[in-house]
Chains A and B, each alone.
Chain A
Amino acid sequence: MTVSSPKNPHLTRRLLVGLGFGAVMGAAGYVFGRTLLPQLIGPDALDGLDLRWSDALAALTGIALMIGAGAVMVISLDPRRLARMYHLEEPASPEEIGQARFQAAVLGFSGFILLLPLVFALAGLAGGLAMGLIILLFALHTVLNIRMWRGVDELLRRTTLEAATATFFLGQGLLFLWAAAERLSLLPPLTAWDVYAVLMTLYLFVSAVVSARRGLA
């Protein structure tokens, strides 16, 4: 008896459920922002703030990363649930729980860092101080990422490389089309923050797909 590479019929359904969930949450966020938020913070509280569509995208992606990390942390409290999440036969070992928590912490930290430029800008923190903090946390994040890369085996490394490759090709394609339209004066220019927010959102989506295909989520 042999096992062949599966077509994974559940992946499409899970992706559709995820997209549907995202659409519902997005709609709920929009309704909240248009109706309840002005009542909570005052109707003019956001006036005068330089908010762009990429700020909303970065905020959504950052919060999604932090929620994802929190979910793994909660699941890791029960070794059986963690094993089910990874499709393992027996409950997760203390070492596996530790690895899952470390990876979740790095994921959540990524979301936190992504939010920082927006939060600092809205808080009116001095530019040099804010940038210094961001550089410091980015350096820490890089060290944690390298440590995680060195601690995982070839499956996770391959998954990371596949996600990065797919994100690069999708991202450069989108960027080329936008750049062409921008050069032809059909679309407005983008900022580095716009491009980065799109890139991170794309990477989040692609990583979820690649991880699900490898049975890691």
Chain B
Amino acid sequence: MNNRLKVLRAERDWSQAHLAELLGVSRQTVNALETGRYDPSLPLAFKIARIFEQPIESIFSEQENDG
């Protein structure tokens, strides 16, 4: 799974800690999401989309070799 989380956070000049607080997760989780080591649950993905005010598919996308 690809994601634009780090770019979106940088555009808003938010720290990992701030995003983690908004999402109600740890900074480790934010870091794991940003580095592609962890794909979020559906509820967390919806929360991310709501916070960045973007549809899920504009934040997360399938890898070309997925499926």
A38 CB to closest chain B CB, in angstroms? Answer: 46
Query: Mind listing 10 A-B residue pairs with CB under 8 Å?
Result: A1-B4, A2-B7, A4-B2, A5-B39, A5-B63, A96-B27, A153-B24, A154-B41, A155-B32, A216-B28
A residues neighboring B (CB under 8 Å): 1-6, 8, 86-90, 93, 96, 99, 152-156, 158, 213-216
Cα-based distance from A96 to B21 in the complex (angstroms):
13
Whether A86 pairs with B27 at a CB distance below 8 angstroms is yes
- The prevalent SS among residues of A at the interface is loop
B55 touches A (CB below 8 Å): no
What 1/0 flags go to B37-62 for Cβ under 8 Å of A? 11111001000000000000000010
Verify A90–B15 contact, CB threshold 8 A: yes
Residues of B within 8 A of A4 (CB): 1-2, 36, 63
The answer to whether residues A215 and B63 also contact, given A88-B16, A89-B15, A155-B26 and a CB cut-off of 8 A, is no
In chain A, what residue has the closest Cβ to B4?
A: A2
